[in-house]
Amino acid sequence: MTDKKVTLKQDDQDRVVELPVTPGTMGPSVIDIRSLYAQTGHFTYDPGFTSTASCTSKITFIDGDAGVLLYRGYPIEQLAEKCDFLEVCYLLLNGDLPNGSEMKGFVTTISQHVMVHEQLIKFYSGFRRDAHPMAVLVGVVGALSAFYHEVMDITCKEDRYISAIRLIAKMPTMVAMCYKYSIGMPFIYPKRKLGYAENFMRMMHGDAGEDYLANPVLVRALDRILILHADHEQNASTSTVRLAGSSGANPYACVAAGIACLWGAAHGGANEAVLNMLEEIGDVSKIGEYVARAKDKNDPFRLMGFGHRVYKNYDPRAKLMRQTCHEVLDELNLNDDRLFKLAMELERIALEDPYFVEKKLYPNVDFYSGIVLRALGIPTEMFTAIFALARSVGWIAQWDEMISDPELKIGRPRQLYKGVTTRDVKSISNR
Ligand code: SDX
């Protein structure tokens, strides 16, 4: 334990309160306030948790000012260049990158769990064809809880691990089924011998009536997109998974809660919102009007794909996403893609605008991801489902870390009460 402390003195009291300061291996230290209420009778107040560390974690580190993102200490730029998504899944789950034999074993294990129960598939037919894929995904992933009763003892390390494997392995199958169901096409079952991203592309774009040959450049691009979205510290959806898991809820139900949270336009829903925004702007000549609206306090419009709670510098994932955008559009001879050109012009104008400069608003991971996904033939309403597919490994790794944490307590925040003070009920004739 550190001997560093902070001292708190309330103006109308002589007594001071000392609170320990605990350093991390990187990033800000924390003031341990667990004894604050007992010592002062006060809560802290931090809506949106802008200054609150909710847990200890060893998985992902972000330096928002420097635009740094590390998974288990490895820079995202190096992982995106040198690894594939399943290697990153292994890293997030186990704490280090696999060697050759570990990777072979992991890939084999994942491949053994890519199928979903035939009864689970019946859940899709309960939805309208035009149901939003995230609504379907919340339902189907939550329904997984009903299929693995015999291996859901969360105190058992092996049960936790097989739950993680099942989620990582089945998410591509379930997400692709959301798409096929929405267009009335037969489901394409996964092939165990295909790579993770290639399998997903085949389940999304394959046709039951003929063989599907995936473009390796596009497969690699999708695999990189999954890496960029795999985990991101204690964001809203990960915090949702942790809070749900702190009560002892099973991992599938917790991930379903995370999917529900990710759906919001301020979070994972932003990639879909970016595409809709670019379509609405339509032309470079309209950019000024929309930038002005984004700056107008009386206009609820925000520049989707811009800004971040933590990054006050360029989101390193956005840089990699823009590079992936170039590669994919090059491969598909779509370099004059109008939305990509519109996005780059919008970025240029916004980054020169004092409002965005002063508020340190930069493009985030969602700004370019929609353009790449659209070029990969993925419909806009599926974008956030792809984000959920990628983030499932981060959610389950963070959930597992929390369940294994000796400091685990059920999450139960308090509040600042501003309601009516105590009063007596009058009989209805006297109200
Ligand atoms: C993700 O947390 C994560 O790690 C999330 C994520 C992950 O991988 O899990 O990175 C994924 O969710 C990325 C963010 C995707 N969302 C969007 O692109 C939606 C548009 N962005 C904003 O809604 C906003 O920037 C947030 C939600 C991302 C962050 O909001 P904060 O941290 O609560 O900041 P804020 O709303 O307090 O904004 C600070 C100021 C405000 O102005 P003032 O009230 O101080 O005058 O900046 C302004 C805001 O009005 N602002 C914007 C803006 N974002 C913030 N103004 C115009 N356009 C924007 N996009």
Query: Residue 307 corresponds to which tokens in the numbers above?
Result: 């800004």
For 208, half-sphere exposure in the C-beta direction (CA atoms, 13 angstrom radius) is 8
Query: Residue 169 corresponds to which tokens in the numbers above?
Result: 């392995």
Among 306, 384, 398, the mutation site with the greatest number of ligand 1 atoms within 8 A of its Cβ is: 306
How is 216-227 classified by DSSP, letter by letter?
HHHHHHHHHHHH
Looking at CATH, the fold of the domain delimited by 59-404 is given as Citrate Synthase; domain 1 (1.10.580)
- Location of structure tokens 């089924």: 177
What separation in Å is there between the alpha carbon of 266 and the centre of ligand 1? 7
- Quick one: which atom of ligand 1 is closest to the CA of 306? 60
CB contact at 8 A, 80 and 225: no
What separation in Å is there between the alpha carbon of 216 and the centre of ligand 1? 35
Q: Is 23 helix (H, G, I), strand (E, B) or coil?
A: coil
Judge if the beta carbon of residue 317 lies within 6 A of ligand 1: no
pLDDT score of 70: 98
Judge if the beta carbon of residue 303 lies within 6 A of ligand 1: yes
Among 52, 92, 309, the mutation site with the greatest number of ligand 1 atoms within 8 A of its Cβ is: 309
What separation in Å is there between the alpha carbon of 391 and the centre of ligand 1? 19
pLDDT score of 11: 87
What separation in Å is there between the alpha carbon of 47 and the centre of ligand 1? 15
- Quick one: which atom of ligand 1 is closest to the CA of 315? 10
Structural class in CATH, domain 5-53: mainly beta
* Nearest protein Cα to ligand 1, atom 45: 359
- 329 vs 17: CA distance, rounded Å: 59
What separation in Å is there between the alpha carbon of 309 and the centre of ligand 1? 6
pLDDT in tens, the chain (431 residues): 558 999 999 888 888 999 999 999 999 999 999 999 999 999 999 999 999 999 999 999 999 999 999 999 999 999 999 999 999 999 999 999 999 999 999 999 999 999 999 999 999 999 999 999 999 999 999 999 999 988 889 999 999 999 999 999 999 999 999 999 999 999 999 999 999 999 999 999 999 888 899 999 999 999 999 999 999 999 999 999 999 999 999 999 999 999 999 999 999 999 999 999 999 999 999 999 999 999 999 999 999 999 999 999 889 999 999 999 999 999 999 888 899 899 999 999 999 999 999 999 999 999 999 999 999 999 999 999 999 999 999 999 999 999 999 999 999 999 999 999 999 999 999 99
Judge if the beta carbon of residue 291 lies within 6 A of ligand 1: no
Nearest alpha carbon to residue 260 among 86, 429, 384, 120: 384
CB contact at 8 A, 256 and 321: no
Residues tagged active-site: 308, 366
Q: CATH 1.10.580.10 occupies which residues in the chain?
A: 59-404
pLDDT score of 2: 52
- Quick one: which atom of ligand 1 is closest to the CA of 359? 47
Q: Residues near 112 by Cβ (< 8 Å), separated by ≥ 6?
A: 169, 192
Number of neighbouring beta carbons within 10 Å of residue 357: 12
Q: Residues near 381 by Cβ (< 8 Å), separated by ≥ 6?
A: 132, 133, 182, 272
Among 308, 347, 358, 384, the mutation site with the greatest number of ligand 1 atoms within 8 A of its Cβ is: 308
Query: Residue 244 corresponds to which tokens in the numbers above?
Result: 């749900």
Q: CATH 2.20.28.60 occupies which residues in the chain?
A: 5-53
- 191 vs 218: CA distance, rounded Å: 18
Q: Residues near 431 by Cβ (< 8 Å), separated by ≥ 6?
A: none
Q: What is the pTM of this model?
A: 0.95
Query: Residue 87 corresponds to which tokens in the numbers above?
Result: 């290697």
